[in-house]
Amino acid sequence: MSQIPKAKLNLSRFFTGVGPETGPILLDRRRVYILPSRSGVIFALVLFAMLLGAINYSNSLAHALTFLLASLGTVSMLHTFRNLRGLKFHPGQCHSVFAGETALFPLRIENNGDPRFAIKLAWPGQAPIIVDLAASDSRWINLPCPTSQRGRLKMQKANIYSRFPLGIFHAWGHVQFKTECIIYPRPSPERELPLQSISHSEAQGDRGRGSDDFASLRSYHAGDSLRHVHWKAFAREQGLLTKQFGGEQTDELWLNWEALAGLDVETRLSRLCRWILEADKLGLDYGLSLPDKQLPPGHGETHRHACLKALALFGNESK
Amino acid sequence: MRLRQKSKNTFSEERVIPPRIGLLWLLGAVVLVLSPHLLRQPLWLSLFCLAVLGWRGFQLLRNWPAVNKWIRIFFTFAGFIAVLRSYGTITGRDAGLALLTVMLCLKLLEMKTQRDTMLVIFIGYFLVIGQFLYDQAIFIGLYLFLAVLVLTTALIFLNHPGSQRSHWRYNIKTAGGMLLQAMPMMVLLFILFPRIPGPLWGLPNQETMGRTGLSDEMSLGSITNLVNSEEIAFRAAFETDIPPANQLYWRGPVLWHTTGRHWRGIAETDPLTQRPPPDFTASGEASLYTVTLEPHDKRWLFALDLPASISIAARSRVDYQLLATKKVTELTRYQASSYLQYQVSSLAPDLETIALHLPLRANPRTRQLAQEWRQKGLSTNEIVTRAMAYISEGNFFYTRQPPALTGPNPVDSFLFDTKRGFCEHYAASFTTLMRAAGIPARVITGYQGGELNTQGNYLLVRQSDAHAWSEVWLDDRGWVRIDPTSLIPVENVETTIDASRFRSTLAKSLRYGDISWLTRGLSQMRQNWDAVNHAWNQWILGYGPETQDEFLTKLGLGKMNWQQIIALMFGLIILVLLPVAAYLLLRQAPATDPVNRLYQRFCQQLAKRGLPLKPGEGPVDYANRIITAQPEWASPVQQITALYTALRYAKVSHHEQFLELKNRVADFKP
């Protein structure tokens, strides 16, 4: 058992922040750091030159101005610090996107004090999002994050910084929530649905009411009325499909991993992803069959998300 | 899993493009800062800067394209060479500032990024200091403080990407507030920061103009127009009573050598001047006073006859002229004491020789007159009286435009022919006459009299008060001052302006201004203003290494070494910054809006019932969620939400709606 108390000065916190957190983050004085900016260093050099000039010419007002500017710089440190201190950050829910798209990590900035200006949020080394906050104002910010792979995207450490008002001091803090974003696989450009795997299930046929109601799609057979061709799908180069109307039956589409045998994992997932999107667009009931997971046919936003999430996390679920 | 693409060009705050309104403000600030410089600098530079400023302004307003890189490089070289050709150098105050002006204008031409604009602001601050090297008057100080305020405002604009034109009021307020908050620390630094005596490097000669009405050489007859500058030579505040005007002789250079026409002092290189001045016995009280001397680029310090002590590093020459250890290139304050009644004990034989020397051939009639007096057997005192009577009764005139004395014997011409001149003619001639009669004599230059400022209770001495008089050595009384100019009868003074000058040199009374109420009022205003200037000079401009020492000693800090002073300074700086920090950081957040408070109470009520407001949830979404969960609360919830959103997001606040919201929230007890 160690009796040594924790060191108060934690340098890693200074450089990297405290790691991901769940709740709201309040940038109190211990979490706002401040150092002169590069312009601040130049300012200091200019002040030194001014002082030399003032001494050389024994000029009282030159002394006074040099001292005034030095004091102004010092006071500006307090202002810059205050501009950041006391801001509160709340995590938001990240909406899933497809790999290659930009994920948005939402944050709410809450200002319980005086107006703040030019508060900048950015991933390290990236261009910031800049916000001004009125007194007692609160604002949602979406931090965009480009994605390239499917899976869980954890929120990176974001820098919150400001140089307002004079730009000669740089105050910063870190914000990192345990927020994560599900990144779906990139949908394959091939849009044709595996319509041969449509199964006709009469038992569940309770959706069609009357012969004019759209029920499902099947591939075009010679002799089908052209009025029933799904032209939009054709325009999307999905082949000729015939809309089926009425009847007491729905078609269930099984989107099967096994149907894509011979392709590599990511391509298969990409194709499945496209199938889900197409089936969803056409309003079909679709099920997803993966080696480790079966999702029974269904439709709607929640079902779509469940299927896409299964694809996104395929092979990584244990983690 | 690395999902984020890493960009090779990492973002840099310095390369941000600042907001346009910030750039426009920057241009405005630069105009303010440059104006006084441009008035002084060569025409080509002024025109170039104005062209750049104008072009940049239009470029910003009309979105013109940026200037080609090669054009900028060309201007850089051209500017450099032009400064070199105009000034013959690129260092020193004038050329250095001209070069800085060129650099600023070139930077204006190319500035694009945040870093460029910040640099322009910093050069702007530097040029403000540059202006102080020429003029430190109160108005210039105020004007340049305004320039600093505008520069700082521009800096705030530039550091606020969301800047809008309408922010100017807020930004000026912020800049002003920050400057105000910086004041206490500035005052501390000003007082305590150890002042190092300059210069650190050489000051080129032309940098401080000789503005004095005095010279350590005198050439009879060649000057036919007297200096009539109203410029201030120095101010003297008396601790003891102000002496009567006919005692106010401010001693400057003493002229010993003469060629008959030219007079000059003993060269500083002459070992004679290294000798300590002879002792004198003083009678009466010493006069104590503080002189605030305007820079005149000479080593002379002025004190009343005869100076006994001085507070700054200086020495008294053998002829009691005070010399500072270096040239007075800055406003200098010193305390001095003088004895108005004195008797110098001795005149060294070698100095006596000089004081009797006259060129052999020059001015024969003057010598003849003196010889006549001698041959009549007149005593030394009688000869002096005789000579004085010769001037007072000899129909001599005072004029500022005397006839030229071009002949080989200028003193002869003056004493016997023209009889018109000003103090130099009289002092030189009288001294020549004395020497011819075998009485050791010399010419003293300096200032006479001064204008009493009743507001500040000090004497204001102007360049137009420059004067010259004689001293003769009388064995029983030592050196005795004789001011031959004062012997001219009043009616022989040519013009009214001369009369007023003459009255001052006559030293009958101090000038209190004229009798007319208007002149009196104007003179009163002038005196008030000069009193302000005097305080400014004394306490701000004159604050240098010596004054600092003196002031710290008065504060009881005289015994501290500079390390201790610096430690004390930092301690005090922290002390004065604490209130500022407390004001900025501890200030309570402004009380939340009463509407918000009511709504928060409403939310708390609901939270107690298990329906808290989710983070980020808007009031309408929240209301819908509650109504879905608890349809029986629909009516009050909807009303409260509607009132709240109306009050919160409408620009105008309606008191009735507010009261209704208040009642509804109070009634809402789910």
Domain stop point among A184, A210, A232: A184
Q: Which residues pair with B473 in a beta bridge?
A: B479
Q: How far is CA B525 from the centre of its chain?
A: 21
pLDDT above 50: residue A297: yes
Q: How confident is the model at residue B63 (pLDDT cuts 50, 70, 90)?
A: confident
Is residue A116 in some structural domain? yes
Contact B160 A147 (CB under 8 A): no
Give residue-wise pLDDT tens across range B193-233: 988 876 777 554 444 444 456 777 777 765 545 556 677 88
Question: Which stretches of B555-630 are DSSP H helices?
Answer: 562-581, 594-608, 619-629
Q: How far is CA B635 from CA B203, B639, B650, in A?
A: 85, 6, 22
d(CA A185, CA B161): 37
Is residue A225 in some structural domain? yes
pLDDT above 70: residue B162: yes
Q: Tell me which of B423, B425, B465, B530 is the catalytic residue.
A: B423
What 8-state DSSP symbol labels residue B495? Answer: S
Q: How far is CA B570 from the centre of its chain?
A: 27
Q: How confident is the model at residue B509 (pLDDT cuts 50, 70, 90)?
A: very low
Query: What pLDDT does residue B3 have?
Result: 40
Is residue A106 in some structural domain? yes
CA-nearest residue to A316 within chain B is B1
What 8-state DSSP symbol labels residue B559? Answer: T
The pLDDT of B523-548, averaged and rounded, is 81
DSSP B293-342: EPP-SSSEE-EESSEEEESSSEEE-TTS-EEESS---S-EEEEEEEEEEE
**Which segment of A282-286, B203-207, B528-532 scores lowest on mean pLDDT?**
B203-207
| Assigned token pair, B162 | 């969301």
Give residue-wise pLDDT tens across range A172-181: 999 999 888 9
Q: Which residues pair with A289 in a beta bridge?
A: A256, A294
Query: What pLDDT does residue B190 have?
Result: 94
Residues in A closer than 8 angstroms to B130, CB to CB, are 53
Pairing assessment for the beta strands A97-98 and A180-184 based on DSSP bridges: parallel
Query: What pLDDT does residue B72 have?
Result: 86
- More confident call, B460 vs A317: B460
pLDDT above 90: residue B495: no
Same domain, A137 and A157: yes
Which ipTM value was assigned to this complex? Answer: 0.78
B455 burial type by CB count under 10 A (0-12 exposed, 13-18 middle, 19+ buried):
middle
pLDDT above 90: residue B303: yes
DSSP B470-493: EEEEETTTEEEEE-GGGGS-GGGB
Residues in A closer than 8 angstroms to B594, CB to CB, are none
Is residue A319 in some structural domain? no
Query: What pLDDT does residue A33 have?
Result: 92
pLDDT above 80: residue B649: no
Tokens 């020459």 found at: B317
Query: What pLDDT does residue A24 have?
Result: 85
What average pLDDT is seen over chain B? 83
Same domain, A98 and A210: no
Contact B136 A85 (CB under 8 A): no
The pLDDT of B479-491, averaged and rounded, is 86
Domain stop point among A135, A150, A184: A184
- Tell me the residue type at B526: R
Q: At B193, is the secondary structure helix, strand, or coil? A: coil
Same domain, A207 and A302: yes
Residues in A closer than 8 angstroms to B199, CB to CB, are 55-58
| Assigned token pair, B345 | 């004990």
Domain stop point among A140, A157, A184: A184
pLDDT above 70: residue B592: no
Closest by CA position to A64, among listed B642, B380, B319, B536: B536
Same domain, A214 and A290: yes
The pLDDT of B143-155, averaged and rounded, is 94
Query: What pLDDT does residue B600 have?
Result: 82
**Active-site residue flag, B467:** yes
**How is chain B split among helix, strand and coil, in percent rounded to 5?**
55, 15, 30
Percentage of chain A beyond pLDDT 70 is 77
Is residue A95 in some structural domain? yes
Identify whether the C-beta of residue A27 lies closer than 8 Å to the C-beta of residue A173: yes
Q: How confident is the model at residue B283 (pLDDT cuts 50, 70, 90)?
A: confident
Q: Does A125 touch chain B (CB under 8 A)?
A: yes
Nearest Cβ partner for A74 among B3, B577, B590: B577
Give residue-wise pLDDT tens across range A99-111: 999 999 988 898 8
Same domain, A277 and A200: yes
Same domain, A178 and A202: no
- Tell me the residue type at B92: G
d(CA B116, CA B107): 7
| Assigned token pair, B531 | 């009193």
Q: How confident is the model at residue B621 (pLDDT cuts 50, 70, 90)?
A: confident
Query: What pLDDT does residue A232 have?
Result: 72
d(CA B412, CA B410): 5
Same domain, A59 and A163: yes
The pLDDT of A113-128, averaged and rounded, is 88
Contact B540 A60 (CB under 8 A): yes
Is residue A130 in some structural domain? yes
Same domain, A145 and A254: no
**Active-site residue flag, B37:** no
Identify whether the C-beta of residue B289 lies closer than 8 Å to the C-beta of residue B236: yes
Give residue-wise pLDDT tens across range A190-213: 877 777 666 655 444 444 334 445
The pLDDT of B393-409, averaged and rounded, is 82
Is residue A8 in some structural domain? no
Q: How confident is the model at residue A17 (pLDDT cuts 50, 70, 90)?
A: low
Structural domain including A264 reads: 195-312
Residues in A closer than 8 angstroms to B10, CB to CB, are 125-126
- Helix count and strand count (H, E) for chain B: 20, 19
The pLDDT of B415-438, averaged and rounded, is 89
Exposure of A229 in the CB half-sphere (CA atoms within 13 A): 14
| Helix B634-649 vs helix B619-629: crossing angle, to nearest 10 | 180
Top mean-pLDDT range of A307-316, B160-169, B177-186: B177-186
Q: At B20, is the secondary structure helix, strand, or coil? A: helix
Contact A57 B118 (CB under 8 A): no
Q: Tell me which of B37, B167, B296, B467 is the catalytic residue.
A: B467
Handedness of CA A53, A59, A65, A67 (dihedral sign): positive
Same domain, A106 and A237: no
d(CA B348, CA B346): 6
Q: Which residues pair with B447 in a beta bridge?
A: B250, B466
d(CA A42, CA B123): 11
Q: Does A135 touch chain B (CB under 8 A)?
A: yes
Same domain, A35 and A58: yes
Q: How many domains does chain A have?
A: 2
Q: Does A50 touch chain B (CB under 8 A)?
A: yes
| Assigned token pair, B637 | 């919830």
**Which segment of A35-39, B172-176, B248-252, B631-635 scores lowest on mean pLDDT?**
B631-635
Q: Does A26 touch chain B (CB under 8 A)?
A: no
Same domain, A275 and A244: yes
Query: What pLDDT does residue B512 have?
Result: 45
Contact B159 A70 (CB under 8 A): no
Query: What pLDDT does residue B643 have?
Result: 84
| Assigned token pair, A210 | 């009357």
Is residue A9 in some structural domain? no
Q: How far is CA B16 from the centre of its chain?
A: 39
Query: What pLDDT does residue B487 have?
Result: 86
Q: Tell me which of B465, B483, B498, B530 is the catalytic residue.
A: B483
Closest approach of A237 to chain B, Cα-based (Å)? 32
Same domain, A169 and A29: yes
**Active-site residue flag, B483:** yes
